[in-house]
Amino acid sequence: MIMNLLNMRRHPFSVISFAHRLLRSRTSVMALLLAYLSIAVIMTTPGVSSRHLTITKTAPNKQKLDASNGISAAMTSLHSGQGPPGLGPVNCSSTRSGSAYCDTGQVGPNVLASTVGWTSITGSSPSSRAGHSMTYDAADGYVILFGGLSQSFPSPVFEFFHDTWKFQGGVWTNITLTGGPSPRGAASMAYDVVDGYVVLFGGFNLVAASGGGSSLVLLHDTWKFLSGVWTNITATPSPPPRDNGAITYDAADNYVLLFGGVGFGGGLRDTWKFSSGVWTNVTSSSGPSPRATTIAYDTADGADGYVVLFGGETSISSFQGDTWKFLAGSWTNITSSSGPSSRLEASMAYDTADDYVILFGGVNSISGYSGDTWKFSSSAVPFDYLLSNNGPVSIQAGSSANVAITATLTAGTAQSVTLSCVSSSLPAGITCGSFTFNPVTPTSTGAISGLTVSGESSVTPGSYSFMVTGSPPGATASGATTTVALTVTSSKDSTSTSVPDVSCYTLQGGETTCTVLVTATVADTANPSNAPSGTVTFTLTAGTTGGSLGSPICTLSTYSGVTSCSGSFTGTTAGSGSVTATYEGDATHSASTSTAATVTVTALSSKDDTSTNIAPVSCNIGLGEIGCTVTVTATVIDTTNPSNVPGSDCYQTGCTVTFTLDAGTTGGNIQHTCLLSSEGSCSQIFSGTTAGSGSITATYGGDMTHIGSTSPSATVTVTISAPVDYSLSNGGLGTVQAGSTGSVSITALLVSGSRQPVTLSCVSTSLPAGASCLFNPQSVTPSLAGATSVLTVYTSPTTPTGSFQVQVTGSPLGATTRPTTFTLTVTATPPPFDYSLSVNPTTASIVAGSSITATVTAILTGGTAQPVTLTLSNSPNPSFCQPSYGVSPCGSFTFSPATVTPSSTEASSILTISTTSIVPPGTYTLTITGSPAGKSSSSVVFTLTITALSVSSVGCGHDLSCSVLSNSTLSKIRFAGNTIHLEATGARGAVGYANVTVPKSAVPHIDTLHVFVDDKKLGSSSVIITSNSTAYFIYFTFTFHSPVTIDIQLTAPENAAPAPILGLDPTFFYGLIGLLAIIIVVALAAFTVKMRRKSKKSV
């Protein structure tokens, strides 16, 4: 059925001739007898099968050639019988762009040639199809593919496409846009060199007919394709509707030429030219006879300089996969050991941009429609490759970095390439290390070798480049060198250093010197989170002041994100000067120097007196608390000059207040010091832990303008609310299986007093044998809201069953605390989950392309039921049956439902196995497994035998032959009278089909052809009949039960041989009757003569 439509469109001219002879009777008795015994003889002349070939012209050294001359020579050679050995004369029709379509009746010998080869191109591609149009689009620089048709075997429904694809750089890309040509097959397409765009004309499609079935639609619209866009340029006049028209660019006349094809009335012989968007009828009386053609696509130049012929069909469903070349007037078989499968209606085109011939798609009756892509090239193509890198690469001076060098094979057979850096191209201070792989072998996807690049610390930051080369170079020498872009950056982050202004005071008649801190802050200006480290050096310029630095060097430290260090300055005489700080840098930071900060020394006549005070404090340890806190504040005032607030100059001198605690009868502590704020106060926290009282004093150390002072003692009092007490409770446990665990929450609620930790434990005497306790956490602090711990009770398989009262207590106990009790119920361990699987039937046999169902049953044999997911694995598992994009080309299986829950009364799932026509025949072991597994076996085996499609032939009268293709096992096939009888056997319940090929001469009237299944006549809607010029193709389906009887009645019953009469052949019976009549007539005549003679005598 797959090939019926293509055969019907390709062979519209078969001649059916027949003769008959009838013996006329004469008036004699012998003539009357012969009339009864006369028979009619009908002779039919069958059509001649042919081979359909696609040929494509290539050209050498990328030079422009006249492709039409090469194709014409190849066609002439084939037509004269000088083609591949054994082919005989071949009729060819020129098609578009230097290609042709040819018919012959023979196939030449298959001789392997090692000088050329086919290479499969994988990846995304158009869907499987045939009858598509393909040509090289020189304006856009890629091969274009449009439309075509396909069929999901064994369905008789055809799908027509209207998608557009481009092939460029070995990759297919879908470039379909809205508004293009309608779906179609066998359209004529060629590149118009003068107009600079691709032209598409005609084609065919099938539409639903009003009375059922399909009706053929021929098209006659014209479209142009340019820059990825289709434009309808249909105009009047235009060639009549047709498909399979031969089209090519006529380089001599500078226009596109269209000839022939198949129209509604059969083959066409008109010729049209297309130029500047206009069709012109240029048919001449001396042109070729009407004929049907198909399309092969190519351009005029190529890589090898000869015509390429691939595959075809020698007779109905007999496909070829051989490759031939035509060069210097002769044909050579160059079939290689690998290449496209046998097929018909594949499309070939020479890809000028990529410099090779590509082949896509096609069809045969076994594997159906193809969607694979192949490229054809000679092994003489020189080795060539391209080096590239993943730069630019960036390194810091004094460090190194890696760059990936990629070697991509662009032509020829791969060979090893040794990589090296071009020394003369390396910048000063930059060196190349070793390659991770050297030599490297280029691949089509790119072979990668890593290179380490190092830069000395003395390299000046900036942009550089160097070259990496390969040896030996390829055919394109420039491709063996790649330039690596390199950026060198500084190895260290930049920094900034700052110092604030400082001042100090001396006292006349008292302190003759003053000391102040000088602090330097260093920041990373490039990466603030990268804290600088190392040392800072201070430099003093005394100016008019006298003084010195205590230590000129300090070490940096970081606190709260600020990096700094300090030194001291001691002033001796009044005046001013400056100080700078220089950061020396570290491994990741550069050095920096601050701007000069002012240093001022002021001489005071005296210091002001101060007074320090603190207020009494108290706190209470509340219910549920473990202590209390209170803030203790010291206040310092200037008693000499109130406007000179102590603490206003403390950022340089410290201004420290020291607290002293006399605990007395209380327990507690306080932080000892705080820094006076600019408001003249500072605070610390006192923490009380036990009830009682004590005292605190505060001492101010003074500053540059203030004398220190000590406060009077302040009272500290700690009180407590109540004695400690808490209660314990639990959330209950429930039932635990022996050998497992159970959890219960334990809550400690504070009743009175302060909070304190409590350690929880189980009372060991309350636990059954083999049981233990684990608390998380072990220790809790009772609170008013309740503190919770999770208790896990562990049991062993030997723990006795029953109910036990388990007690939990705390330590230390509160005033009224009692243990909390929960019930632990231990039960026996149940049996493990287990089940058994079975399948019915356990074995089956089907034909490839059929389906089968089986029932999988799950029975619970132990434990508690739970859902089980069914899966299936098969052995053997052929490699080409492996799923691609989630789908296996060999078929599929499903469980319905996919998950079952075993029960004692059984739970079942229906397993459906569907196969395709390409699954290898053989016996397969299918293992059905349940997950999770039970304690014992959780799988069952189903044995499936797959047989090949059955094809049987039978004589169907007058030296004619009929054939039956089916997915069933055929038997008892015979031809009797006017009917083909056979039996079909398959898996019960499965759907079978048959495709019967009957010569047209065996069916005088198509209306008299009927199909009977199990003696029941199938309606016209259940039988699909198509035809070509020589044969009818009868397709129908049926359901297997036991052997199915099938009868195909070729002529009406009334034209069949009459039924026997009294057990005698009717012709013989009527012959006897005639003979008897003759005898009676003769006897009567003799009797009459005798009586007349007797009467005369008596007279």
Q: CATH code at 94?
A: 2.120.10
pLDDT, tens digit (0-9, with 9 covering 90-100), for 916-934: 877 888 899 999 999 999 8
H or E element in which residue 487 lies: strand 481-489
Q: How far apart are CA 598 and CA 596, in angstroms?
A: 7
Q: What is the pLDDT of residue 607?
A: 85
Q: What is the pLDDT of residue 985?
A: 87
Taking a C-beta distance cutoff of 8 angstroms, is the pair 10, 1027 a contact?
Answer: no
Give buried/exposed letters for 192-206 (b at 16+ CB in 10 A, else e): bbebebbbbbbbbbb
916 and 964 inside one domain: no
786 and 696 inside one domain: no
Q: Is the pLDDT of residue 1045 over 60?
A: yes
Is residue 936 a part of any domain in this protein? no
Token duo for residue 918? 């390409």
Token duo for residue 809? 């207590």
775 and 698 inside one domain: no
Q: What is the pLDDT of residue 104?
A: 43
The parent domain of residue 265 ranges over 51-378
Q: CATH code at 656?
A: 2.60.40.10
Judge if pTM exceeds 0.85.
no
Residues 6+ apart with CB under 8 A from 746: 728, 729, 730, 760, 775, 788, 789, 790, 791, 808, 820
Q: Is 219 helix (H, G, I), strand (E, B) or coil?
A: strand
Domain stop point among 574, 604, 634: 604
Least confident interval from 434-443, 721-730, 1063-1072: 1063-1072
Taking a C-beta distance cutoff of 8 angstroms, is the pair 630, 688 a contact?
Answer: yes
Is residue 868 a part of any domain in this protein? yes
Q: What is the pLDDT of residue 30?
A: 33
Q: What is the pLDDT of residue 293?
A: 38
Q: What is the pLDDT of residue 10?
A: 43
Helix, strand, coil percentages for the chain (3-state, nearest 5): 10, 50, 40
DSSP assignment of 284-306, as one string? -TTSPPPB--------S--SS-S
Strand partners, 846: 946
221 and 319 inside one domain: yes
515 and 555 inside one domain: yes
Is residue 1093 a part of any domain in this protein? yes
Q: Tell me the C-alpha to C-alpha distance, in Å, between residue 1035 and each of 157, 209, 365, 544.
A: 12, 18, 14, 119
711 and 744 inside one domain: no
Give buried/exposed letters for 32-42 (b at 16+ CB in 10 A, else e): bebebeeeeee
Q: What is the pLDDT of residue 1063?
A: 64
Token duo for residue 539? 């430099």
Q: What is the pLDDT of residue 209?
A: 67
893 phi and psi angles, rounded to 5 deg: -140, 150
Q: For the beta carbon of residue 425, count every other beta carbon within 10 angstroms.
A: 16
Q: What is the pLDDT of residue 725?
A: 86
Mean pLDDT of the chain: 81
Domain stop point among 557, 585, 604: 604
Q: How far apart are CA 925 and CA 915, in angstroms?
A: 15
pLDDT, tens digit (0-9, with 9 covering 90-100), for 974-984: 998 889 999 98
| Parallel, antiparallel or unpaired: strands 820-827 and 734-737 | parallel
H or E element in which residue 851 lies: strand 851-862
pLDDT, tens digit (0-9, with 9 covering 90-100), for 1013-1042: 999 999 988 888 888 888 888 988 888 888
Token duo for residue 125? 């591609």
95 and 131 inside one domain: yes
Q: Tell me the C-alpha to C-alpha distance, in Å, between residue 163 and each of 126, 234, 242, 726, 871.
A: 9, 20, 20, 82, 38
pLDDT, tens digit (0-9, with 9 covering 90-100), for 574-608: 899 999 999 998 888 888 999 999 999 888 888 88
| 299 vs 656 pLDDT, higher one | 656
pLDDT, tens digit (0-9, with 9 covering 90-100), for 619-670: 988 766 788 999 999 999 999 998 888 887 665 556 899 999 998 888 889 9
Domain stop point among 539, 573, 604: 604
Q: What is the pLDDT of residue 290?
A: 66
Give buried/exposed letters for 535-567 (b at 16+ CB in 10 A, else e): bbbbebebeebebebeebebebeeeeeebbbeb
Is residue 34 a part of any domain in this protein? no
The number of C-alpha atoms within 13 Å of 889 and in the hemisphere containing its C-beta is 15
- Which percentage of the chain shows pLDDT scores above 90? 41
Q: What is the pLDDT of residue 9?
A: 47
Q: Is 144 helix (H, G, I), strand (E, B) or coil?
A: strand
92 phi and psi angles, rounded to 5 deg: -125, 150
Average pLDDT over residues 762-781: 94
H or E element in which residue 1098 lies: helix 1066-1098
1026 and 1090 inside one domain: no
Is residue 844 a part of any domain in this protein? yes
Q: For the beta carbon of residue 728, count every other beta carbon within 10 angstroms.
A: 23
Q: Is 613 helix (H, G, I), strand (E, B) or coil?
A: strand
473 and 502 inside one domain: no
Q: What is the pLDDT of residue 653?
A: 59
Confidence of residue 252 (pLDDT cuts 50, 70, 90): confident
Token duo for residue 86? 């054994």
Average pLDDT over residues 24-29: 32
695 and 750 inside one domain: no
Q: Is the pLDDT of residue 1003 over 70?
A: yes
Is residue 390 a part of any domain in this protein? yes
Q: Is 844 helix (H, G, I), strand (E, B) or coil?
A: strand
303 and 416 inside one domain: no
Residues 6+ apart with CB under 8 A from 981: 972, 973, 974, 975, 1045, 1046, 1047
Confidence of residue 212 (pLDDT cuts 50, 70, 90): low
Q: What angle do CA 1075, 34, 1074 make, to 5 degrees?
A: 20
pLDDT, tens digit (0-9, with 9 covering 90-100), for 118-132: 887 888 899 999 889
Confidence of residue 1058 (pLDDT cuts 50, 70, 90): low
Q: Which candidate, 342, 339, 338, 346, places its Cα nearest to that of 365?
A: 342
Q: What is the tally of structural domains in the chain?
A: 8
- CB-count burial class (<10 Å; 0-12, 13-18, 19+) for 823: middle
Q: Is the pLDDT of residue 308 over 70?
A: yes
pLDDT, tens digit (0-9, with 9 covering 90-100), for 681-732: 999 999 998 889 999 999 998 887 888 899 999 999 998 877 778 999 999 9
Confidence of residue 56 (pLDDT cuts 50, 70, 90): low
Is residue 38 a part of any domain in this protein? no
463 and 390 inside one domain: yes
Strand partners, 517: 568
Is residue 938 a part of any domain in this protein? no
Strand partners, 447: 407
Q: How far apart are CA 357 and CA 74, in angstroms?
A: 17
Q: How far apart are CA 917 and CA 924, in angstroms?
A: 16
Q: Which candidate, 446, 388, 451, places its Cα nearest to that of 414?
A: 446
Strand partners, 130: 149
HEC assignment per residue over 206-253: EEECCCCCEEEEEEEEEEEEECCEEEECCCCCCCCCCECCEEEEECCC
